[in-house]
Amino acid sequence: MKNLLIYSLILFSLFYVACKDSKPSPNVQSITISEIGKLKIDNKDLMILDVRTPKEIANGKIDGDALELDFYSDRFEDGLNKMDKSRTYLVYCKSGGRSSQAIQIMNKMGFTDLYNLEGGYTAWARNN
């Protein structure tokens, strides 16, 4: 019985130390075009991040205030480092591939609230 109590205390101590220093789990989700409006309403600090090339952006944007950061640029990660990691980001590209990769990078860098637009600009343009 005494050994069980000692093992329980050790186990509790290990869990306490492990959980105490852990980072909050990131919120990474995919959303559809129809969910953008609700996301904007629910997240007043929402930043829309367009990771397409300048040539692609010249054909139109989802939001005029969207931050532009070319995924293929050598300065992509430098640009991410300048951004507020505590804000909520909706990331999009042409079809969803680069934005998914960008979100993986952002997640590793400590961004905590990320949304990927399914189908990207192509899906948005088809519906607008």
User: Which residues belong to the active site?
Assistant: 93
Residues 74 and 7: their CA atoms lie apart, in Å, by 52
From residue 50, give the alpha-carbon distance in Å to each of 1, 5, 29, 102.
61, 55, 16, 10
What does DSSP say about strands 27-31 and 113-117: parallel, antiparallel, or unpaired? parallel
